Structure formats: structure tokens, C-alpha cells
Structure 1
Amino acid sequence: MSDFDQMGLVVDWVDACRRGDLATLLDLYADDAELKCTCNGTRLYRGRSALEAYWGPKLSAFSSAGFGLEEIHPAQNGVDLEYSIAGSLRIRASFRFSADGKIHGTLCEPAQQDAHQGCVC
């Protein structure tokens, strides 16, 4: 078990997304972090500049549309989160962490939702 609050770190991630705060969001990630998104095909983003390119355009859309925390719970190797955009579009994200208390890996994928909804992650 790690000596930092993994759930608290993911809540900080949610708060940064709600505020559209890219700098704070990026600071939560390790320098060599990876984000794998399977929402519209599989894409892998590695390192701060790739994460910045991924998150930059999304955060303003999230903050204007509304970003909601739906579910959060500890997982075997990290934390699993389900969040919503605009109150209905649901996305599942799994977080894994580095020993120094940063997000080291994120996997996002569409959560179960209405057939007419798409994924913007």
C-alpha cells in the first residue's frame, strides 16, 4: 500500500477538470506518464507535452458543458473513476500511480450509456 492518498489525488484531478485548470491537471501526472484512450480508436499519449496536447482542448469543453463525478472507488492497483460530461455522457477512467504520488498511467474508455451518445475523451 502506498503512503499517499490515491483517492484524494483522483479527486484533485476531478477538481482540476471541473475548473479547466490545465497546469494543475498536468502537475498531477508523472513526467513519463501515459494516457491510453480507447473512446474513438486506441490512442496513446506519453509525457507532459502529449498530455497537454490531449487535455488542453478538452478541459475548456468539459468546464463549459459540466463535468460530474459519478463513481469513484479503489481498484486493485489504483483508482477507478466514472465521470460525466454535460450530465449524460459517461466515461470510465482507471488511474495507476508512481511511487512518488503522481499519476503514472490512465486508461479512459466509454462507460455504458445511451446509444445516441458518443465519447469526447
Structure 2
Amino acid sequence: MSDFDQMGIVVDWVDACRKGDLRTLLDLYADDAQVECTCNGAQSYRGRSELEAYWGPRLTAFSSAGFGLEEINPVPNGVDLEYSVAGSLRIHASFRFSAEGKIDRTLCEPARQNAHKGCVC
């Protein structure tokens, strides 16, 4: 069991996304953290500069389109989150953490979309 609040870190991540706060978002990640995204083909980003290049445009889109928290659940070794963009596109993100209480790895992928809205991936 970790001695830091994994759920709290993910809530802070959600808040940074909602506000479009890139600096705060990046500060939640370990220096050598990795983001693996399979939303538009499998891509991997590692380290602060690559994460900044990945998240910068997305945060701009989130803040203008709207970012919603759908589900957040503790899982063995981390936290799973489902969020929506523009009220319809749903994304599943799995977070894993370093011993220092930073996000070490994030895996994001399209979540099951609402049947009446369809998938906008």
C-alpha cells in the first residue's frame, strides 16, 4: 500500500485538465514518465518535453470542448479513470505511480462509447 493518495493525484490531474493548466498537469508526472495512447494509433511519449508536446494541444481542446469526469476507480497498482470530451467522446485512462507519488505511466484508449452517440474516435 502506498503512503500517498493515488485517487487524489488523479483528481488533481482531472482538475488540471479542466482548467487547461499544462504546468500543473506535467508536475503530477515523474520526470521520466510515459504516456501510451492508442486513441489514434499506438503512440508513446516519455519525459517532460514529450509529454508537454502531447498534452499541450489536448488541454486546449479539452478546455474549449468541455472535459467531464465519468468514472474513477482504484485498481490494483493504480487508478482507472474514464472521462469525456465534448460530452460524447469517452476515454479510458489507467494511471500507475512511482514510489515518490508521481504518475509514472498513463495508458489511454477509447472507452466504450454511448450507443446513441456513436464513437467519434
| Structure 1 match to 2:10 | 10
Give the whole-Å Cα distance in 2 for the aligned partners of 1:64 and 1:110: 20
What stretches of structure 2 of length at least 5 have no aligned partner? none
| Structure 2 match to 1:46 | 46
Secondary structure of the 1:100 match is coil
Q: Aligned ranges for residues 58-69 of structure 1 at < 5 Å?
A: 58-69=58-69
The answer to whether the aligner puts 1:109 opposite 2:119 as a matched pair is: no
Give the whole-Å Cα distance in 2 for the aligned partners of 1:118 and 1:29: 28
Give the whole-Å Cα distance in 2 for the aligned partners of 1:118 and 1:48: 29
Secondary structure of the 2:64 match is helix
What's the offset of the Cα at 1:110? 0.1
In the comparison of the two structures, how many residue pairs are matched?
Answer: 119
What's the offset of the Cα at 1:40? 1.1
What's the offset of the Cα at 1:118? 2.5
Secondary structure of the 2:61 match is helix
The answer to whether the aligner puts 1:118 opposite 2:100 as a matched pair is: no
| Structure 2 match to 1:97 | 97
Give the whole-Å Cα distance in 2 for the aligned partners of 1:20 and 1:40: 21
Give the whole-Å Cα distance in 2 for the aligned partners of 1:33 and 1:75: 19
Q: Aligned ranges for residues 14-93 of structure 1 at < 5 Å?
A: 14-93=14-93
With normalisation by structure 1, the TM-score equals 0.95
Aligned residues: percent identity? Answer: 78
Give the whole-Å Cα distance in 2 for the aligned partners of 1:39 and 1:56: 16
Secondary structure of the 2:50 match is helix
Give the whole-Å Cα distance in 1 for the aligned partners of 2:96 and 2:13: 13
Write out the 4+ residue segments of structure 1 that deviate beyond 2 Å after TM superposition: 114-119
Secondary structure of the 2:3 match is coil
What's the offset of the Cα at 1:29? 0.1
What stretches of structure 1 of length at least 5 have no aligned partner? none
1:40-82 CA-partner distances (Å, limit 9, x unpaired)? 1100000000000000001011011100000000011100000
